[in-house]
Amino acid sequence: MLNKVKNILLKQAIKNHKKSLNPFVLSELQKVVFLIDENQDITLEINVLKEAVSNPVMIEKIAFTQIIDAQKTIMHTLFTPKDFNWYKKPVKEDLVNFLQENYDLVIDLTEKENEYQSIFLQFINSKVVTGFKGLKEYSINLNIHDNNLLFIEELLRYLSTFKK
């Protein structure tokens, strides 16, 4: 009985929350940034994004590397730990200018999380920041369609930990 009440209350809360949200529409995208690893090829992702969006989109790529190799040809903007000061604020002029621009969407496609990438994502001016690669590490498998009660229990457990 308690689970049914929780289920009804949760559905009501989600329904009310959905009404208050403004959906992010792909057709409004103008500037997109991909945060990638240094040697990562993302031509497939860029092509998929271009097909999904009806208007022309300006796409920029930025990558994190520990050390810049002078022998490699640089195809996109790079940032390193040296581009940040002791207080973890960006100091390199190119990086500061990059972070001050406004973007509609930032997509994090890096394989491993790094503190400098997290700092970069905190400083960037963007409406939406999203990432996909990290979900494979944590293997979150909550199948909403098959097991509603498990999903609701997990959601309530996480919400109660945030409330404390």
Higher-confidence position of 91 and 44 = 91
Q: Is 152 contained in some domain?
A: no
Of 94, 92, 96, the residue nearest 124 (C-alpha): 96
Give the pLDDT score at 103: 87
Q: Is 146 contained in some domain?
A: no
Q: Is 143 contained in some domain?
A: no
* Tens digits of residue pLDDT in 124-161: 888 777 765 544 444 344 444 455 565 566 666 655 65
Calculate the CA 128 to chain-centre distance: 7
Q: Is 59 contained in some domain?
A: yes
Question: ∠27-28-31 over CA atoms, to 5°?
Answer: 110
**Counted domains in the chain:** 1
Residue 39, domain extent: 28-138
| Cβ atoms of 35 and 64 closer than 8 Å | yes
CA distance 119 to 132: 18
| Cβ atoms of 130 and 108 closer than 8 Å | yes
Q: Is 10 contained in some domain?
A: no
Average pLDDT, the chain: 70
Question: ∠112-117-123 over CA atoms, to 5°?
Answer: 155
Residue position matching structure tokens 């509603």: 148
* Tens digits of residue pLDDT in 80-98: 888 888 888 888 888 888 8
Q: Is 67 contained in some domain?
A: yes
**Cβ of 45: how many Cβ atoms within 10 Å?**
16
Higher-confidence position of 69 and 104 = 104
CATH number of the domain that residue 98 is part of: 3.40.50
CA distance 14 to 156: 12
Q: Is 21 contained in some domain?
A: no
Q: Is 98 contained in some domain?
A: yes
